């Protein structure tokens, strides 16, 4: 179904509610307060259910991104469609014009939609890792060029933009983002305080199945420990950008989508909410080939996820919500740790670890060439 058909099909509140109920309550109506299944009384002429166990009322929207919202669901659906279709992102001001709602309503809806886009993905296969700074560098002549001064700024507090601190490299106030992407596959992103061996390694361990993966990065020193965990190939950007199959072009292509989006659509972003925007970019990228089902998938995610907003506010700090260690990640990290020990043992039986790596790299370089 295309955008037009969906908008036409779900043009009233009750049709939308029916749709949400069919997705959320596939296995029966459950009470979101106490979890009891199929023990309810439906109030006549409404979408309100009464739980006969805990004596509380509920609707299908309780505990979802649609809870406590006065925005009619057809408009919600329309805004979701716009966001899913916008390859480079879409600003709240454009959403507010297109959906004919207030700016604040559009902003809040968009934030909740981004909350539902937060995913926990396990990567495997050939993976490229890289890091970047987002936030734009000040134009040299910014004092004379007012139109550009705020483009793509990312600020701790958007009301206090500090252009002088927006320099490149160390000491920058720009946001540090690390990413890993499967070739022809999915991407994960993390907003980081620092790029270090520890933070990068944590990202690898929590999100990559190291037994089934090969990782390519540039020569940055915080990737040094990767080779203890996974087959790790380094492309030396000082010398060359591609060496056969060893390159990081996929992730660099992805960075350019993110940067163009942030620059073109959002202008001023608050660093606090940046993780939500990153979740949005990753979500769309990860579904770039599934044109037909993406809307239904999204709605299913949106109603099945735990509550992520309470009374218009995220339940936790956006960074915590996107960076928290999930049960799945914990399990994977433990498995990877275990695999690392076995890996070191296997290698030590052959030769001291470092020599083996050198040989492996040379051999592969020849192969690739
Ligand atoms: Zn109940």
Rounded to the nearest whole angstrom, what is the distance from the C-alpha of residue 187 to the centroid of ligand 1?
Answer: 38
How far, in Å, is the centroid of ligand 1 from the Cα of 37? 9
Rounded to the nearest angstrom, the distance between the alpha carbon of 80 and the centre of ligand 1 is 30
Q: Cα dihedral sign for 246, 249, 250, 254?
A: positive
Report the separation in Å between the CA atom of 63 and the middle of ligand 1, taken as the mean of its atom positions: 13
Distance from residue 54's CA to the centre of ligand 1 (Å): 4
Output the CA 56–ligand 1 centroid distance in Å.
6
Ligand 1 centre to CA of 249 (Å) is: 52
Ligand 1 ion: Cβ-proximal residues, 5 Å cutoff: 31, 33-34, 51, 53-54
CATH no. for 121-270+325-369: 3.30.420
Q: How far is the CA of 108 from the centre of ligand 1 (A)?
A: 28
Q: Give the model's pLDDT for residue 241.
A: 82
Q: What is the pTM of this model?
A: 0.80
The rounded Å distance from CA 129 to ligand 1 centre is 46
CA 172 to CA 137: how far, in whole Å? 10
Q: How far is the CA of 276 from the centre of ligand 1 (A)?
A: 31
Q: How far apart are CA 170 and CA 218, in angstroms?
A: 18
List of long-range contacts for 253-261, beta carbons under 8 Å, 24+ apart:
254/179, 254/181, 254/187, 254/285, 255/130, 255/132, 255/179, 257/87, 257/88, 257/281, 257/285, 258/132, 258/134, 258/177, 258/189, 259/132, 259/134, 259/152, 260/88, 261/87, 261/88, 261/89
The alpha carbon of 51 and the centre of ligand 1 are apart by a number of angstroms equal to 5
Interval between CA 120 and ligand 1 midpoint (Å): 29
Ligand 1 midpoint to CA 52 (Å): 7
Tens-digit pLDDT string for the chain (369 aa): 778 888 899 999 999 999 999 999 999 999 988 989 999 999 988 999 999 999 999 999 988 889 888 899 999 999 999 999 888 889 999 999 999 999 999 998 998 899 889 888 999 999 999 999 887 554 444 444 433 333 345 555 555 544 444 555 545 668 899 999 999 999 999 999 889 999 999 999 999 999 999 999 999 999 999 989 999 999 888 888 888 888 999 999 999 999 888 887 776 777 788 888 999 999 999 998 876 678 888 998 888 766 555 545 666 777 777 777 888 899 999 999 888 888 877 766 655 444 444 444 555 555 555
pLDDT at residue number 309: 56
Indicate the domain borders of the chain: 121-270+325-369
Residue 55 alpha carbon to ligand 1 centre in Å: 6
CA of 29 to the centre of ligand 1 (A): 11
Contact of 136 with 151, CB cutoff 8 Å: yes
Distance (Å) from CA 47 to ligand 1 centroid: 16
What is the 3-state secondary structure of 288-315?
CCCCCCHHHHHHHHHHHCCCCEECCEEC
**How many degrees, rounded to 5, is the angle at CA 206 between CA 342 and CA 297?**
130
Ligand 1 center from residue 310 Cα (angstroms): 19
- What is the distance in A from the centroid of ligand 1 to the CA of 351? 62
Distance 115 CA to ligand 1 centre (A): 25
Which tokens belong to 209? 């199945």
**Secondary element (H or E) of residue 126:** strand 123-134
Question: How far, in Å, is the centroid of ligand 1 from the Cα of 49?
Answer: 10
Token reading at 219: 């020569």
Using the mean position of ligand 1's atoms as its centre, give its distance from the Cα of residue 119 in Å.
28
For residue 324, the CA-to-ligand 1 centroid distance in Å is 29
What is the distance in A from the centroid of ligand 1 to the CA of 64? Answer: 16
Please report the pLDDT score of residue 30 as a whole number: 92
| Centre of ligand 1 from the C-alpha of residue 317, in Å | 29
Q: Give the model's pLDDT for residue 76.
A: 96
Report the SS3 class of residue 335: helix
CA torsion through residues 27, 302, 120, 187, sign: positive
Instruction: Determine the distance separating the centroid of ligand 1 and the alpha carbon of 60, expressed in angstroms.
Output: 13
Cα 75 to ligand 1 centroid, rounded to whole Å: 29
Q: Are strands 208-218 and 231-235 parallel, antiparallel or unpaired?
A: parallel
- What pLDDT is recorded for position 342? 83
């Amino acid at each position: 179904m295309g955008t037009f058909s969906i908008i036409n099909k779900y043009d009233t509140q009750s049709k939308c509610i029916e749709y949400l109920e069919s997705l959320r309550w596939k296995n029966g109506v459950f009470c979101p307060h106490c979890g009891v299944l199929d023990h309810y009384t439906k109030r006549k002429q409404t979408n309100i259910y009464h739980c006969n166990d805990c004596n509380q009322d509920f609707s299908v929207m309780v505990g979802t991104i649609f809870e406590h919202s006065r925005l009619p669901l057809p408009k919600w659906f329309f805004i979701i469609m716009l966001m899913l279709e916008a390859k480079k992102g879409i600003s709240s001001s454009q959403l507010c014009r297109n959906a004919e709602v207030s700016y604040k309503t559009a902003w809040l809806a968009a934030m909740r939609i981004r909350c539902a886009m937060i995913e926990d993905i396990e990567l495997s296969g050939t993976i490229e890792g890289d890091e970047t700074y987002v936030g734009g560098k000040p134009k040299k002549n910014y004092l004379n060029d007012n139109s550009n001064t705020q483009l793509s700024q990312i600020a701790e507090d958007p009301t206090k933009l500090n252009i002088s601190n927006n320099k490149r490299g160390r000491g920058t106030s720009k946001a540090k983002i690390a990413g890993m992407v499967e070739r022809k596959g999915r991407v994960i992103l993390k907003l980081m305080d620092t790029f270090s061996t520890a933070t990068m390694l944590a990202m690898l361990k929590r999100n990559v199945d190291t037994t089934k993966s090969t990782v390519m990065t540039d020569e940055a020193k915080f990737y040094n420990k990767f080779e203890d965990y996974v087959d790790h190939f380094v492309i030396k950007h000082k010398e060359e950008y591609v060496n056969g199959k060893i390159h990081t072009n996929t992730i660099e292509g992805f960075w350019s989508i993110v940067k163009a989006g942030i620059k073109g659509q959002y202008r001023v972003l608050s660093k606090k909410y940046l993780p939500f925007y990153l979740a949005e970019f990753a979500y769309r990228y990860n579904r770039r080939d599934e044109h037909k089902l993406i809307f239904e998938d999204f709605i299913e995610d949106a109603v099945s996820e735990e509550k992520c907003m309470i009374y218009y506010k995220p339940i936790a700090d956006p960074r915590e919500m996107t960076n928290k260690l999930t049960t799945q990640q914990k399990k994977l990290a433990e498995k990877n740790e275990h695999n690392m020990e076995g890996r070191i043992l296997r290698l030590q039986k052959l030769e001291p670890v470092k020599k083996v790596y050198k040989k492996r790299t040379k051999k592969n370089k020849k192969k690739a060439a």
